[in-house]
Structure 1
Amino acid sequence: MSRPVKHRKTGVYWFRKRVPADIATLTGRKEVNRTLGTKDPEETSRRARRRWGTGGNHRMDE
């Protein structure tokens, strides 16, 4: 699983995830970036697992 990244100016964590190649050709996007809306490292981990867990059902509009 990818790691959340802390925004250097605001301190809010973001999550980056690579898009599979077959989907990237359709969407034109190689990765998806989403804010996790928190500055707390522990809450960041929980939110990242909830949103991008191992279930494989990842919607880019969430």
Structure 2
Amino acid sequence: MKKSIYMFVIALFTVGIAMSCREEKSAGEKIEDGIEEVGEGIEDGAEEVEDAAEDIADDN
């Protein structure tokens, strides 16, 4: 019984240490990622507008 409790405690500490070693993104990195996503969205929107304009030009 004692061995299983010790193993559980060791496993718990191992998980705790592994979780604390995760690399968190800084606020600057999160902002940079957000800006990149917005830029990609703008590019996608511009491509859709271009495609729609080409479709209209082809119909005439």
Is the structural similarity TM-score above 0.5? Answer: no
Q: Which has the higher strand share?
A: 1
Largest Rg, 1 or 2: 2
Q: Which has the higher helix share?
A: 2
Taking structure 1 as the reference length, the TM-score comes to: 0.24
Structure scoring higher RCO (CA < 8 A, sep ≥ 6) equals 1
